[in-house]
């Protein structure tokens, strides 16, 4: 079968139908006007040659891959897996496919992916990681949208209102009568914007004379068992702790550890999670949570990357999505 699944087969069809290759492309993509009799002739030749269009080959032919890559730190992290799911659905609805790349927070892996993605394999990139040097982003020749990271003024960013998130969590601890709050966070050198919620939390608790202690960890250092061991250690070593603020998974681990240690929730320990994924409602108690609106983040990210691909200059350089508090059974 001659010319199957490659760019030349389009030219084969064009040659036999005695039309231009771009006319065949319009028929294949159902884009642009083609006279009915010409369309019928092309479709007849396609059947005669038993031509099976190859999406990647057609993408290369028209300089468009029809796919967008998403870089995330870890595919099993509840927030990123949920976000990727929404982005995949939104892209598909807009005629694009998603290529998911998990870097495991490894800068070399991130660099390798970015180098690979410079080719025609994708039309653009949505990135939830940022460990490279500024010059490496400047040399990246594809449309790029960042999630929760500011690289420079030319690359659009989509992020939650993390300052509001920290303030909502702090207010909940204040209302619950907490005096000693521990918050589990990334180290202070991180560039991720979500760290702002921890700064806002500390500042507001300080104003109300409530003690707070940051325990800094690399967010991907532990799986659930690792978080559970950390929770047991913290709660035993700091028995006066009456408030815990952490991302969904470690918050769930602290809840489980506290119950095993005989603590009454929320009387002895108030737990507030941050993100709002399925893990907060998969426990003995539903966890009070500051919710990031993942679907809105996904929709805006997709809107921005497609606008960049289609060279639409009406793009907001920084989009901030509000968060909200979802009441649970782990606070007053």
- Per-residue pLDDT tens digits for 124-151: 999 999 888 888 888 888 999 999 999 9
Contacts for 122 with CB less than 8 Å, ≥ 6 apart: 65, 67, 68, 69, 99, 142
Pair 15, 133 in one domain: no
Pair 239, 185 in one domain: yes
Pair 266, 308 in one domain: no
Pair 303, 154 in one domain: yes
**C-alpha span between 133 and 115 (Å, rounded):** 13
Pair 119, 149 in one domain: yes
Pair 134, 197 in one domain: no
**What is the CATH classification number for the domain harbouring 54?**
1.10.260.40
Pair 71, 50 in one domain: no
Pick the residue with more confidence: 186 or 57?
186
**What is the CATH classification number for the domain harbouring 281?**
3.40.50.2300
Pair 176, 138 in one domain: no
Pair 85, 37 in one domain: no
- Per-residue pLDDT tens digits for 169-182: 999 999 999 999 99
Report if residue 327 sits inside a domain.
no
Contacts for 72 with CB less than 8 Å, ≥ 6 apart: 80, 83, 84, 100, 101, 102, 103, 128, 129
Burial class (CB in 10 A: 0-12, 13-18, 19+), 249: buried
Report if residue 329 sits inside a domain.
no
Domain assignment of residue 42, given as a range: 7-61
Pair 283, 176 in one domain: yes
Report if residue 104 sits inside a domain.
yes
- Per-residue pLDDT tens digits for 229-248: 999 999 999 999 999 999 99
């Amino acid at each position: 079968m001659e010319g199957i699944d490659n760019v030349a087969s389009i030219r084969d069809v064009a040659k036999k139908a005695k039309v231009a290759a771009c006319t065949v492309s319009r028929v294949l993509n159902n884009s642009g006007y083609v006279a009915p009799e010409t369309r019928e002739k092309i479709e007849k030749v396609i059947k005669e040659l038993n031509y099976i269009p190859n999406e990647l080959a057609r993408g290369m032919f028209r300089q468009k891959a029809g796919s967008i890559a998403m870089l995330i730190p870890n595919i099993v992290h509840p927030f990123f897996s949920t976000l990727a799911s929404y982005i995949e659905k939104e892209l598909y609805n807009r005629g694009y496919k998603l290529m998911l790349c998990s870097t495991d927070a490894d800068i070399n892996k991130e660099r390798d992916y970015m180098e690979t993605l410079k080719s025609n394999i994708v039309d653009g990139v949505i990135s939830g990681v940022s460990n490279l040097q500024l010059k490496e982003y400047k040399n990246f020749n594809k449309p790029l949208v960042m999630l929760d990271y500011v690289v420079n003024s030319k690359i659009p960013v989509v992020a939650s209102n993390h300052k509001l998130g920290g303030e909502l969590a702090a207010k909940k601890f204040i209302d619950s009568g907490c005096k000693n709050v521990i918050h589990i966070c990334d180290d202070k050198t991180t560039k991720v914007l979500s760290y702002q919620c921890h700064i806002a939390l500390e500042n507001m608790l300080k104003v109300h004379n409530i003690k707070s202690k940051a325990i800094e960890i690399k967010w991907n250092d532990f799986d659930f068992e690792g978080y559970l061991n950390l929770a047991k250690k913290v709660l035993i070593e700091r028995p006066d702790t009456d408030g815990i603020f952490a991302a969904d998974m470690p918050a769930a681990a602290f809840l489980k550890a506290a119950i095993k240690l005989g603590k009454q929730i929320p009387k002895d320990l108030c737990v507030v999670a941050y993100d709002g994924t399925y893990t907060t409602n998969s426990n003995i108690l539903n966890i009070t949570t500051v919710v990031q609106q993942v679907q809105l983040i996904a929709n805006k990210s997709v809107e921005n990357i497609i606008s960049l691909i289609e060279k639409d200059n009406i793009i907001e350089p920084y989009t901030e999505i509000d968060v909200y508090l979802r009441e649970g059974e782990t606070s007053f």
